[in-house]
Amino acid sequence: MKKILLVLFLGIFCRVNCQITIDSVWTQANYTKTETLIPMRDGKKLFTSIYAPKNTSEKHPVLIMRTPYSCAPYGKNSFSPRLYSTHWANYLIENYIIVMQDVRGRYMSEGDFVDVRPFIENKKGKEFDEASDTYDAIDWMVKNIPNNNGNFGVFGISYPGFYSTMAALSGHPALKAVSPQAPVTDWFLGDDFHHNGAFALMDGFNFYYSFGKPRPKPTTVDQKNFVFPEKDNYSFYLKQGALKNLNKYLGDSIGFWNDMMNHPNMDAWWKARNARVGCMNIKPAMLIVGGTFDAEDCYGAWNLYKAIEKQSPKTNNKLVMGPWVHGGWHRGDGNYLGNVRFGSRTSEYYQKNIELPFFDFYLLNKGSDKTIAEATVFFSGENNWKTFESWPPKDIENKTIYLDQNQKLSFEKPTTASSSSKYTSDPAKPVPYAEDVHLRRTREYMDDDQRFAARRTDVLFFETEILSSDLTLAGSIIADLKVSLSTSDADFVVKVIDVFPDNFKYDSLYCCKGVKQEAEMGGYQMLVRGEIMRGRFRNSFEKPEAFTPGKTETVKFELPDVAHTFKKGHKLMIQVQSSWFPLFDRNPQQFVDIYKCDDKDFIPSEIKIFHQSDAASAIVLPVLKK
């Protein structure tokens, strides 16, 4: 007992006077863990782990993460390593109560799980959704967690980011601050499993093979992952042929996979699963967080912030975007991604200067929220944080840059009467999304060198002259292509690329925790942003339309926001292609149901991209004024 009291004293003393090391020993000496089942309004109970400070001399704020990925480890004497091995340790030093909860129907919670369960705006009686489950959980905690100060916060990354958004819609008066991070918002337009209607093949199959399996009763056991017969994802998925052939691995039991296969267009079923539809009259303060190089939910962070600004203008709503992969602000130091360096420990900057002060202010009444800007965004290229009063920034000018003959990009519209570039898109030889052979989808592809793609005959590229001054982009990019096809459908991938000078090299061969920098950076073609558009949705995501072979048509779509500076001496490049495999499924290039078509339906298509006076393909750039 004396040892415990001594550790408690040292913990309290060090909050003010010294730097302490938070580890498993410290955590178990200073915290207790309680496991409980919290009742919901319909009678179901949700499994909840509560980590509370042993210090009872003051009341403590409560920070909650609701997750479908398990609040393991289970057992009152088993503490989650996340508490002390991540930046959550900052909250332990401040004596926060940390709560983790298995959402309805997952792991040890009762009830049935529904993916991205639709929000019910006007619930009646015992009707429930994820917002009401959060309300009921907080209501129970206010009354039953000893020494809580009545101030609650919710945060979470990815799918827990979706549950954080739903928490913000709960309306509970004790909920003061919410931080959806890389939040799932729209699985048809831009997050995780579809981009502009194109199916994210690798992520969709690999995730739902295990995650989507039914759980008949509460369990602590994870589902088994798929065992791939080879280590080359390009080879494996190409051998499967048509998308429906993957069903032999999945069977009939994985409900959401089957739902996706049966809802090829953005119908009412998909619209109900858009997490942004209920973002009105939000009361808690919001901190939306995401990564500009997030391969999964970059779309969600940018667009949830914009939706709240539009639908709930009185909400105290802030945005932070750093040069991170999915969840990179939570783990790692954010100093680099793949071959590209960012020049500082961006994750640590965020943790100490933004997230912790945000929750401290609203849950502990400590400090000020004035230190956190409306939008705090890291600009790669120049490797600097910038702050803004709004996002997109007010000081941007949308400048149109045109694709032109001789692989050129120009701010002058083409005057040639007849000019085009063409390529043959062959589903039997789709363009790979990355150069190397690997099994799992990489994170690094988001800023990978694109020289391998530029060398293919089915990839077009256009580039500027060497830039005589910096060019900073801040906001969404619009691709406006004038095209013709020899078939009735095709996809279009547009990539925005920073071409480094031929003599470029970093200051040292070493970067980032002693990792040797081996890549040749001279002439490096850094992917800044890429996006795919399923051509059939060019006029409507609800009502797809076939192309008329040989007819010139417009394919216009939005790329997720960018925050990047093309430095003086670099070049801006645009690449255009019609496959990005196996990141996204192949388009058969005929107007058929892609989710149910046969192998024989996949045919080559000759595609023209026009750059002439009456059909000028262009990219609209959000240029930040100096």
The string of pLDDT tens digits covering residues 151-176 is 999 999 999 999 999 999 999 999 99
**Is a pLDDT exceeding 70 seen at residue 16?**
no
Give the per-residue pLDDT at 480. 98
Give the residue-averaged pLDDT of 385-391.
98
The dihedrals phi and psi of 27, each to the nearest 5 degrees, come to -65, -45
Coarse DSSP helix, strand, coil percentages of the chain, rounded to the nearest 5 percent: 25, 30, 45
Question: Distance between CA atoms of 143 and 526, rounded to whole angstroms?
Answer: 53
Looking at the DSSP assignment, which residues form a beta bridge with residue 76? none
3-state DSSP call for residue 566? strand
Residue 381 binned pLDDT confidence (cut-offs 50, 70, 90)? very high
**Is a pLDDT exceeding 60 seen at residue 624?**
yes
Question: Distance between CA atoms of 178 and 576, rounded to whole angstroms?
Answer: 39
Give the per-residue pLDDT at 278. 93
**Is a pLDDT exceeding 60 seen at residue 276?**
yes
Report the phi/psi class of residue 391: left, alpha or beta, with left for phi > 0 and alpha for psi in -120 to 50: beta
Give the per-residue pLDDT at 510. 61
Nearest to 597 by CA among 337, 286, 108, 245: 245
Amino acid at 307: A
**Is a pLDDT exceeding 60 seen at residue 17?**
no
Instruction: Write down the pTM of the prediction.
Output: 0.95
Peptide bond into 118 cis (omega under 30): no
Question: Distance between CA atoms of 332 and 325, rounded to whole angstroms?
Answer: 10
N residues, the chain: 626
For β-strands 553-566 and 471-485, DSSP reports them as: antiparallel
Span of 10-24, 45-59, 294-308, 366-380 with lowest mean pLDDT: 10-24
| Residues 299-358 pLDDT 10s | 999 999 999 999 999 999 999 999 999 999 998 899 999 999 999 999 999 999 999 999
**Is a pLDDT exceeding 90 seen at residue 511?**
no
- Under 8 Å between Cβ of 371 and 357: yes
**Which CATH fold would you assign to the domain 31-188+276-388?**
Rossmann fold (3.40.50)
Give the per-residue pLDDT at 423. 98
**DSSP for 336-384?**
EETTEE-SS-HHHHHIIIIIHHHHHHHHH--S-GGGS-SEEEEEBTTTE
Read off the tokens for 148: 């809580």
**Is a pLDDT exceeding 50 seen at residue 3?**
no
Give the residue-averaged pLDDT of 229-238.
97
Give the per-residue pLDDT at 516. 58
The dihedrals phi and psi of 18, each to the nearest 5 degrees, come to -155, 170
- Structural domain boundaries of the chain? 31-188+276-388, 396-624
Read off the tokens for 624: 């930040």
Sign of CA dihedral 116, 121, 127, 131: positive
| Residues 554-589 pLDDT 10s | 999 999 999 999 999 999 999 999 999 999 999 999
Give the per-residue pLDDT at 369. 86
Residue with tokens 């547009």: 494
Residue 512 binned pLDDT confidence (cut-offs 50, 70, 90)? low
| Residues 592-622 pLDDT 10s | 999 999 999 999 999 999 999 999 999 999 9
The dihedrals phi and psi of 287, each to the nearest 5 degrees, come to -130, 105
Give the per-residue pLDDT at 517. 60
Give the per-residue pLDDT at 4. 38
Read off the tokens for 172: 């509970």
Looking at the DSSP assignment, which residues form a beta bridge with residue 287? 318
Amino acid at 64: I
**Is a pLDDT exceeding 50 seen at residue 9?**
no
**Which CATH fold would you assign to the domain 396-624?**
Jelly Rolls (2.60.120)
Nearest to 572 by CA among 469, 480, 434: 469
| Residues 73-110 pLDDT 10s | 999 999 999 999 999 999 999 999 999 999 999 999 99
Task: Indicate the average pLDDT of the chain.
Answer: 95
The dihedrals phi and psi of 401, each to the nearest 5 degrees, come to -115, 135
Orientation of helix 233-240 relative to helix 201-211, angle to 10°: 80
Burial class (CB in 10 A: 0-12, 13-18, 19+), 469: exposed
